Amino acid sequence: MSKQIATKLINSRRFPIGAERVHGKGVHFRVWAPERKTVKLVINSPSENKGDDVVLPPPPTEIELQSEGNGYFSVILQESCVGSLYRYLLDDDPQPYPDPASRFQPQGPHGPSQVVDALTFDWTDADWTGVAAQGQVIYEMHIGTFTHDGNWLAAAKELPELAALGVTVLEIMPVADFPGRFGWGYDGVNLFAPTRLYGTPDEFRYFVNQAHAVGLGVILDVVFNHLGPDGNYLGKFSSAYFSTRYQSDWGDALNFDEPNSAAVRDYVLTNSAYWIKEFHLDGLRLDATQQIFDSSAEHIIAAIVQAVRSAGAPRKTFVIGENEPQDAKLFSPLENGGFGLDALWNDDFHHTAMVAMTGRADAYYSDYRGAAQEFVSTLKRGFLYQGQWYSWQNKTRGTPGLDMPPAKFINFIQNHDQLANSGSGKRVHLLTSPNRYRALTALFLLAPQTPMLFQGQEFAATSPFFYFADHKDEIAQLVARGRADFLAQFRALATPEMQARLPDPCDPQTFTHSKLDLNERNLHKEEYALHRDLLSLRRNDPVFQACQQSSRIDGAVLSPDAWVIRFFGKNPGDDRLLLVNLSRDIHLVPAPEPLLTAPKDCVWDAMWFSDDPHYGGMGMPPWPMKGNWYLQGESAVVLHPITQAKESVNHEQ
């Protein structure tokens, strides 16, 4: 093949690496292996089905790839090889290896790659415009445990119900293929291959297509800070894939700024664009960004954001991140020297809520009191720690982000990490009182920040959510020991009694016990109604809706465990009050707080309350139109203004 023809083939590709069908030209194989002299393709023709008979394929064929002189090797084959299994032989190494950019691993990471034609899926989402950062309600989902069957097709059947609930965006836990029968996905090793455990690539596409059809966006959790310990063959193709300067908490860090890092950067940027283009995803969630190391002039995270934006255009895309140090640079605009993410997870909101709900303030909860001031501050300013001293880490935490809009902070009271970190895997509603849980759920879902539910939270699922990962032999022992050591930071979980009761991550029952029982939607109708009604209020009430787009709120402490948040409407006097009391009953005498004042010629009346019997509460007496207020213990109430004339009519009735 001439260099000119090779260049034309490369330019005809959608992505620069992997096996890709180039329309009208064949299947083009391209791989980066700069330290190798020869690369051979070992490919099996797909089996033929003729009625009940299966015609066995011929023996595998070896085809030498042509060196392009830049570390890349490539070859073009006929389109008939779609569906074939293949691997690469590198120099004199007798063991063949899967493609580093494999599109599917039907036998897992240790097996051969498969040629996939991404152009045959019949998309019907041409009118879908994507997902903006504003006005979203996120739902974190693990495909393997969301349904009993644990696959894309079973999950797709539940999408209309999630849309009706008020969810707008699904955040899918990582799906890059990993070894074993089950796992969270954070030890993926085939970054381009959606795991065979949940179905085929086209079944993943079907899931996304169905989500768009019912109005749901889909973003994918991706891991660019390390690869898993088992099945990772990148180093066979080049040692430059991994850094010698940095070490991730979970293994070798990817090389984004050392010699030969340009191709590694391209590998990750191509992967970022690939999920958006080939699967019509609406964005990404970047895992543990503090462990993505890069001293380049353009940080790889900023480059990832740009790659996603470009791949999604003209559709809107939504890119969020996890960043334990809470560095506001990540979601500052690119033009201001930031990385341009749309939002970050807000651990501070979760931590103070957990302390308030459980009374426990151990380990990484130790710098939180769960007090009224913290809730007022986090609703007004997002992160609680923006540079103050953080005793648990014996250093400052966070950077200033006082002017950031509320949508940039993703609040949650449950997620995959925090449920598993309880040791018992128990859902939060089982660790606190029902009244207190309803009150804080109201605050969580009505706050101007972006809320994120974890699967099953909306119906108070009784199934736990454990850490599970199917490893073998020595790795399994190391994973179990590492998990136990991590949880030992909590003094109660460090006791021999609790250490002995920690679930084994590699036990299949740990995985199966984490599966949702979706029948609980009907069994727990009160909890389901609570979430449905609050999300409806958030979406449809003009004041709550407007306050998500700007910081049109203020708040005040009424007691150590009670507070008020005032949501200011666009029109004068069209405000809302949210009163939350996590302690015993309070009679507000005196009431020297200006935020409690009703708009001119109006009085406050209740429009929603957490003690409603429809949610399992014990009821609430009519809101007093005159005199001081009486706040029921462990409750929340939403007030809206009514005119004096209307109040007089209501009083006469």
Q: How far apart are CA 560 and CA 371, in angstroms?
A: 6
- Which among 385, 373, 525, 372 is positioned nearest to 439, based on CA atoms? 372
Q: How far apart are CA 107 and CA 13, in angstroms?
A: 26
> What is the CA 492 to chain-centroid distance, rounded?
29
Are 66 and 1 spatial neighbours (Cβ–Cβ below 8 Å)? yes
Is 322 an active-site residue? yes
Are 547 and 554 spatial neighbours (Cβ–Cβ below 8 Å)? no
Q: How far apart are CA 194 and CA 106, in angstroms?
A: 10
Name the active-site residue from 221, 282, 322, 342: 322
At residue 419, the 3 state secondary structure works out as helix
Q: How far apart are CA 465 and CA 17, in angstroms?
A: 37
Burial profile 590-617: b = 16 or more Cβ within 10 angstroms, e = fewer: eeeeeebebbeebbbbbbbbbbbeebbb
Is 533 an active-site residue? no
Q: How far apart are CA 217 and CA 405, in angstroms?
A: 21
Q: How far apart are CA 408 and CA 290, in angstroms?
A: 18
Tokens at residue 216, please?
A: 């749901």
Residue 46 contacts by C-beta under 8 Å, 6 or more apart in sequence?
57, 81, 82, 83, 84, 85
Burial of 94 (0-12, 13-18, 19+ CB in 10 A): exposed
Name the active-site residue from 221, 252, 278, 287: 287
For the CA atoms of the chain, what is the radius of gyration? 27
Q: Which residues are known catalytic residues?
A: 287, 322
